[in-house]
Amino acid sequence: MIALPTPTLIALDAVGTLFGLKESVGAVYARFAAKGGVSVSAAALDQAFFNAFQAAPPCAFAHVAAADRPRAEFAWWQAVAADTFARAGVLDQFEDFRGFFAPVFSYYATAAPWHLYPEVSTVLESWHQYGIPLVIISNFDSRLYGLLKQLGLAPFFSAVVISSEVGAAKPDPAIFERAIAPYGISPQQAWHIGDSWQDDVLGAQAAQLQPIWLRRATRLLPDSGIEHPNSVVQITDLRELNAILGCSATS
Span 80-92, pLDDT tens digits:
999 999 999 999 9
Average pLDDT rounded to a whole number, residues 29-52:
97
Distance CA 169, CA 60 (A): 6
225, containing H or E segment:
none
The separation between CA 131 and the C-alpha centre of its own chain, rounded to angstroms, equals: 24
Distance CA 126, CA 156 (A): 10
Average pLDDT rounded to a whole number, residues 48-76:
96
Q: Is the entire prediction scored with pTM above 0.85?
A: yes
In which band, very low, low, confident or very high, does the pLDDT at 243 lie, cut at 50, 70 and 90? confident
Span 128-166, pLDDT tens digits:
888 899 999 999 999 999 999 999 999 999 999 999 999
User: Any idea what the Cα angle at residue 54 is, between residues 134 and 75, rounded to 5°?
Assistant: 80
In which band, very low, low, confident or very high, does the pLDDT at 8 lie, cut at 50, 70 and 90? very high
Average pLDDT rounded to a whole number, residues 49-74:
96
Cis, bond preceding 171 (omega within 30 deg of 0): yes
User: If we measure between CA atoms, which residue out of 36, 35, 57, 49 comes closest to residue 85?
Assistant: 49
- Tell me what pLDDT residue 218 has: 58
